[in-house]
Structure 1
């Protein structure tokens, strides 16, 4: 593990290389943008990172939806095991999803599609975690996106 060092920050970017230190590169390019030094900006890598940011948010949304649906399935099909941990997992996932959608409203129309897309893995996770047989869980998602995100929705 590399030795951690305290690095003094300065107002003048040091123009670090994209492939060597992504965070430093991002800070350098942010400084260049703010200073209006357009010709010095690493435009190609900046464009790639902006595209990847959207992909990352979409992946995070899908991940939270998958985890949330896994727990809603467990909640519905194992009522005797319901507890504070499952409830907190569901509530925290709902909060995180709403945060992503508030920060990136362009993902709102994709949420229902991602719910459908991630259901197969959520179902597989629920089967694996509960030990219940496959036929217990519906083949397609039994929840709407509105139900999944509603704090007062708890499947019975």
Structure 2
């Protein structure tokens, strides 16, 4: 690949990232590693890793939100019980389908931060300030498709 072709690939990233991705995949399949636009490839891989982590963390936050509502918002429990429980089931299915050892470790390391945002959400939603400051759930419980808190 000439210098002009390398510049084309770098410029293509700014113009049409999907076409850039297709060309990059072709180069990888052809084992033409010296022709890769490494700077943008690294940026894309880092972005992909961040996006995946945010997605799995968001699913965990949704699980926590609905468990807190289910366990603590007594006035709304009878009316919303089935909805909140089915949401937990849905989010657990989604998170467990994507789970890897790295994601598990990431969630474990970030459970308190995730809980903090979930707690703030349910406080705002319910108008109640009765939710524990620290996460009352273990990660294993949050991911266990059959576990629900007692109330």
Fold similarity call, TM over 0.5: yes
Secondary structure at 2:133 match in 1? coil
The whole-number CA distance in structure 1 between the counterparts of 2:137 and 2:126 is 19
User: Larger % of helix: which?
Assistant: 2
Q: Which residue of 2 aligns with 1:123?
A: 119
The whole-number CA distance in structure 2 between the counterparts of 1:27 and 1:71 is 40
Q: Which residue of 1 aligns with 2:39?
A: 44
The whole-number CA distance in structure 2 between the counterparts of 1:23 and 1:140 is 43
> TM-score normalised to the size of structure 1?
0.81
What runs of 5+ residues in structure 2 fail to find an aligned partner? Answer: 1-7
Of 73, 90, 106, which residue of structure 1 is paired with 2:68?
73
Is the contact between residue 68 and residue 93 of structure 1 (CA under 8 Å) also seen in structure 2?
Answer: yes
Number of aligned positions between the proteins: 139
Aligned Cα RMSD in Å? 1.8
Aligned-residue offset at 1:88: 2.2
For residues 21-64 of structure 1, give each alpha carbon's deviation from its aligned partner in whole angstroms, at most 9, with x where no partner exists.
22221111001111122222111111111122211111111111
- Do residues 143 (structure 1) and 141 (structure 2) align? no
Aligned-residue offset at 1:97: 1.4
Of 22, 30, 50, which residue of structure 2 is paired with 1:27?
22
Structure 1 outlier segments of 4+, above 4 Å: none
What runs of 5+ residues in structure 1 fail to find an aligned partner? Answer: 1-13
Of 145, 148, 152, which residue of structure 1 is paired with 2:146?
152
Is the contact between residue 116 and residue 141 of structure 1 (CA under 8 Å) also seen in structure 2?
Answer: yes
